[in-house]
Chain A
Amino acid sequence: MTELAVERQAAPPEVRGVRLYWRRLRHRPVALVATIIFSIFLLLAVLGPWVTPYSPTYQNYEARLESPSLSHFFGTDRFGRDLFSRVLAGTRGVFVLCGLGAGMAFVVGTTAGLFSGYVGGFADEVIMRIFDVLLSVPSLLLAMVLIATVGPSKTNLVLVVGILYTPDVARVVRSVTLDLKTKEFVEAAKVRRETRRHILFREILPNALGPLMVEVAMRFSYAIFTVASLGFLGLGVQPPSPDWGLLINEAQPFVELAPWLVLFPAAAIALLVVSTSLMSDGLKEIGEPVRSGG
């Protein structure tokens, strides 16, 4: 039988996995720079207390409201605390609070979105209408109301961020699920009587990961804003924590006298938010499935 001959000329070995993603990332300079900046922030969050030149709470009354210098890169605040150390130390808080919050939104939103989209019908209506209600309230207002009710602890902040962004994640996952559930590989899974859990998490979810990662990264950057805003309003992390929002709040009376006190924490927020969202844009393209020739 002639067709038994091997069907295909040897294809060039495809690059896969991490190497493939790295290769794709290299070709996207914006995403690459954003990823590097994000990684530096992440590294600082991990190393935090060990790399700060001063203790973030050490008060040096000899050096109050000093402008940026070689000994104090970002200057000092009204208690003579080193602002550079405080901004660095604040990074960990940002990552922990927003990371856990976005993580919670990811887990809850994904599960709800997968279920809602796949099952459809009445359950879908109920779940999505609840989310619509949450989405219809301005997020900062909702966060303020919730925090005002339960009190401003770190756990509560994480929960609030989670609740705030679950609907967005759920909507994205749901729309991807609606598209994927009619695909023939899902039908094939049904034909071999896979459990619903397998279909949702093994067949559909891996194909939804691309848009999902983008969404979660977006929500992470939104969460940074929200947490900072709550901190600024005094509803977030309480003093003397070096939270970025709180830093800006504390700097308020000295805007004219010591503008760097506002500038540096604000710049940190902006830089992290922008790099996160540029990175998430890049993720979208980098996470595409392997294609021949791609």
Chain B
Amino acid sequence: MDPTRSKGAVLSIADLSIEYRTERGRLPVVRHATLDIDQQQSLGLVGESGSGKTTLAMGALRYLPENGRIVGGTVYLRGTDLASLSPAGLRHVWGDQVGIVYQNALGALNPSLTIGRQLREMGTLHLDLGKRDAYRLAREMLIKVAMPDPDTVLRRYPHQLSGGMLQRCVIAMALITEPSLLIMDEPTTALDVTTQAVVLDLVRELKREFQAAILYITHDLGVVARICDRIAVMYAGEIVETATTRELFKHPGHPYSLSLLGCMPHFDLAAEKRTLVTIPGSILSVDALPPGCIFAPRCRFAVGECEAAPPPLVEIGAGHSCACYRWQEVPPPEVDVREETRMIGTRGAGAAAGEVLLLADDVRVLLKASGRSLELRRQKARVHAVDGISALIRPGETLGLVGESGSGKTTFARAIVGLTRRSGGEVVLRGRRLERAVEKRPKDVVREIQMVFQNPDASLNPRHTVGEEIGRPLSLLRGVRGREREQLIGELLASVNLPRDFGSRYPGELSGGEKQRVAIARACAADPALILCDEPISSLDVSVQGTLMNLLMDRQAQAGISFLFISHDLSAVEHMSDSIAVMYLGRLMELGPTAEVMRPPFHPYTEALLSALPVPDIDVVQGEIRLGGTVPSATEVPTGCRFHTRCPRCLGELCVRQEPPWQAVGPSHWIYCHISAAELTAVQVSILDGRLGLDNKAASR
């Protein structure tokens, strides 16, 4: 490969192929990847899990596990051919010229050394600085990554810092040698949205300040839209499209990119709900590659030609290349979304009649303080994880519950279903008061409320077949036995789009998405009126998330089931829900119909969540509000308004001393804030401003 081609590029990867030797033979996990990143440029490497993103990034640096091998292609870092380097030379390059930020910041730091020591070692090892100079540099770096109180942080151990602060330390560590290339591998995936926003802002700042080229690996197009200049889309080991961020979002050339854009919820506040675009099938495994285009088996646009020979990566515009024969056929996303999705009437008949399915009245839950402090444990301190929550769910409707981790969302759901006993308040189902513990509730009540859990790997018993899992609620709660039971198991599997013969499989043989479908089928088997979905999609890939949301809405439309949909992802909650409850530190901050909650006036906390949300749309105008710190511990609930410590609109004395009132700002819309609705409306930005595509869509209906 001609090195002059990559002149100016910091990292230039050409035609790189990587293999893993495994029991199943040689797996070509990365094939013919070509990428360039210029100075001060950030490139987002996007794709579903298993597409080979991390392998490509690490393999380019020749940093591979023992069974990995580069079988073709060249990599130049600042004009140096990495293949020509000795192992010692490579280590030198890794140390001096490359900074890496991993997803798990806690795992990337040594738990037994202070932050200061670890940062200092970077300076003494790679920059030949004396201890004192290295320490000074470490401190400077922490200031550059906007670390509050750097002197204290330097003396801390990793476990004493929050996730966001740790990630900042790791970023500081990666940048301390002023590397030419910074690789960030899903650095914000494990963080709360509010923290993620702060870290993303930081990355954007650093791009300006440092000379580094950034390779940003993520599955989240919303994140990419925020910080990346260019995007490379990867599928099953190949780069299928590279383009500038704007170009990719506006005119994607590859059907896979188009589907990725369509399967994420778009803020669309029309009263009718729509499905999401889905990608049929699952990512193919690299040991069984088709002769033609790798995406053809799942592609809506595929024709005979696609299955015959793999399409080459061709330039289809300035800086825009794409591996697809039919890129001209691929419509702009907003057209595609309109055509490929359908309206779905989930709103139950009972909703209009004002019926109430479930009423939670001033529900409180006391939990043992799980604090680190020995003091608290000795006192057997108890804290209100849920501190007086009232909400109602109508038949066939979805109530979305959103908030940062630690806000008590899950505890609230567990109190409703009776897994955790509430310490106060009432839960009323169709006029019947429910016992606190599920064991004491009569069978017909138990049948009515089911739950879908967050972790698909743990929610099915690994020793039971899928059929046993789904059949158990049938026989236990509905008394269905024998052939009828088998019949129903088949129907339930079909209702979650799984083939009937899955009944004899074990959970270990299923993918994450399939497991979660089985969990939904199991919840539906009881024929419940209400399903509590506790982050049911959070641990899954975006395309699978879309399919599952469609599935849940389909079940709702057909069986009239109500959902309590818990998520930290406001866009998913917005997409699924008829009403939204925003929760912070055990209390509701705002409650109302989805369309109203998503438009000003909103509670300052809702506002902060909305402006932190990574929206997969580049024209979106979002507020600049950022929340510092993390949710305070429930053992030290702030006085007055419990949000005042982090509230960007805090009024001072009033908010500190006095609990705010529940202001009614609409017929069924309340805000828990001192600031009047009119004042809030005046200062708040709607996330929907400037989204022309949506107005068009509304008009076309």
Contact = CB atoms under 8 A, between A and B. Distances in A.
B461 A7 contact: no
A289 B514 contact: no
Given A185-B460, A289-B462, A289-B463, A190 B419 contact: yes
Contacts of B547: 3
B522 to A, nearest CB: 7
Nearest to B505: A14
A4 interface: yes
Contacts of B499: 6-8
Nearest to B547: A3
A8 B493 CA distance: 14
Contacts of B419: 187, 190-191
B383 interface: no
Contacts of B472: 189, 192
A290 B506 contact: yes
A183 interface: yes
B147 interface: no
B282 interface: yes
Classify chain A's interface size: 20 to 34
B514 A7 contact: yes
A191 B281 CA distance: 32
Contacts of B418: 191
B438 A9 contact: no
B510 A292 contact: yes
A194 interface: yes
A8 B547 CA distance: 14
Given A5-B281, A207-B461, A188 B510 contact: no
A25 to B, nearest CB: 17
A291 B461 CA distance: 13
Question: Max chain B CB contacts within 10 Å: which of A2, A183, A184, A291?
Answer: A184
Contacts of A203: 461
Given A3-B278, A207-B461, A191 B451 contact: yes
Given A8-B282, A289-B463, A191 B509 contact: no
Given A2-B300, A192-B446, A192-B526, A7 B282 contact: yes
B439 interface: yes
B606 interface: no
B242 interface: no
B72 interface: no
B497 A4 contact: yes
A121 interface: no
Given A192-B472, A192-B477, A206 B458 contact: no
Question: Max chain B CB contacts within 10 Å: which of A8, A191, A207, A291?
Answer: A191
Contacts of A207: 461-463
Nearest to A8: B282
Given A2-B278, A7-B497, A193 B463 contact: no
B473 interface: yes
A7 B551 CA distance: 13
A11 interface: yes
B157 interface: no
Nearest to B508: A291
Contact of A188 (B284, B441, B459): B459
Nearest to A206: B463
B664 to A, nearest CB: 35
Contacts of B506: 289-290
A185 B461 contact: yes
Interface in A172-221: 183-185, 187-194, 203, 206-207, 209
Given A185-B460, A193-B446, A289-B506, A7 B280 contact: yes
A119 to B, nearest CB: 13
A122 to B, nearest CB: 15
Nearest to B519: A188
B458 A185 contact: yes
Contacts of A2: 278, 280, 300, 340
A5 B282 CA distance: 11
B458 A184 contact: yes
Contacts of B519: 188
Given A185-B458, A291-B508, A191 B284 contact: no
Interface in A247-294: 289-294
B113 interface: no
Contacts of A11: 509
Contact of B438 (A8, A14, A193): A193
Contacts of B417: 191
B30 to A, nearest CB: 20
Interface in B320-363: 340
A290 B455 contact: no
A2 B551 CA distance: 12
B518 to A, nearest CB: 11
B476 A8 contact: no
A188 B451 contact: yes
B550 interface: yes
A7 B458 contact: no
A7 B508 contact: no
A183 B458 contact: yes
B106 interface: no
B508 A292 contact: yes
B686 interface: no
Question: Max chain A CB contacts within 10 Å: which of B459, B510, B511, B547?
Answer: B459
Given A188-B522, A190-B419, A192-B476, A289 B438 contact: no
B510 A193 contact: no
Given A190-B419, A191-B450, A292-B510, A3 B459 contact: no
Given A7-B282, A7-B514, A9-B281, A184 B497 contact: no
Contacts of A293: 24
B481 interface: no
Nearest to A193: B446
B656 interface: no
Contacts of A209: 463
A277 B450 CA distance: 45
Contacts of A292: 508-510
B461 A3 contact: no
A261 B20 CA distance: 58
B508 A290 contact: yes
A228 to B, nearest CB: 36
Given A191-B419, A191-B451, A206 B461 contact: yes
A192 B477 CA distance: 7
B657 interface: no
B443 interface: yes
A209 B462 CA distance: 12
Contacts of B455: 184
Interface string B539-556: 000000001001100000
Given A7-B498, A289-B506, A292-B509, A193 B281 contact: no
Interface string B494-512: 0001110000011011110
B462 to A, nearest CB: 4
Given A11-B509, A292-B508, 19 more contacts: A6-B499, A9-B288, A14-B509, A183-B458, A185-B458, A185-B461, A187-B451, A188-B519, A190-B438, A191-B417, A192-B472, A193-B439, A193-B476, A206-B461, A206-B463, A206-B464, A289-B463, A290-B509, A293-B24
27 contacts: A2-B340, A3-B280, A3-B547, A3-B551, A5-B280, A6-B499, A7-B280, A7-B497, A7-B498, A8-B514, A11-B509, A183-B458, A187-B451, A187-B453, A190-B419, A191-B419, A191-B446, A191-B450, A192-B472, A192-B476, A192-B477, A193-B476, A194-B476, A206-B461, A206-B464, A289-B462, A294-B508
List of 9 A-B pairs having minimum Cβ-Cβ separation, nearest first: A206-B463, A184-B453, A184-B459, A291-B508, A185-B461, A184-B458, A289-B462, A193-B446, A3-B278
Interface of B: 24, 278, 280-282, 284, 288, 297, 300, 340, 417-419, 438-439, 441, 443, 446-447, 449-451, 453-455, 458-464, 472-473, 476-477, 497-499, 505-506, 508-511, 514, 519, 522, 526, 547, 550-551
Interface of A: 2-9, 11, 14, 183-185, 187-194, 203, 206-207, 209, 289-294
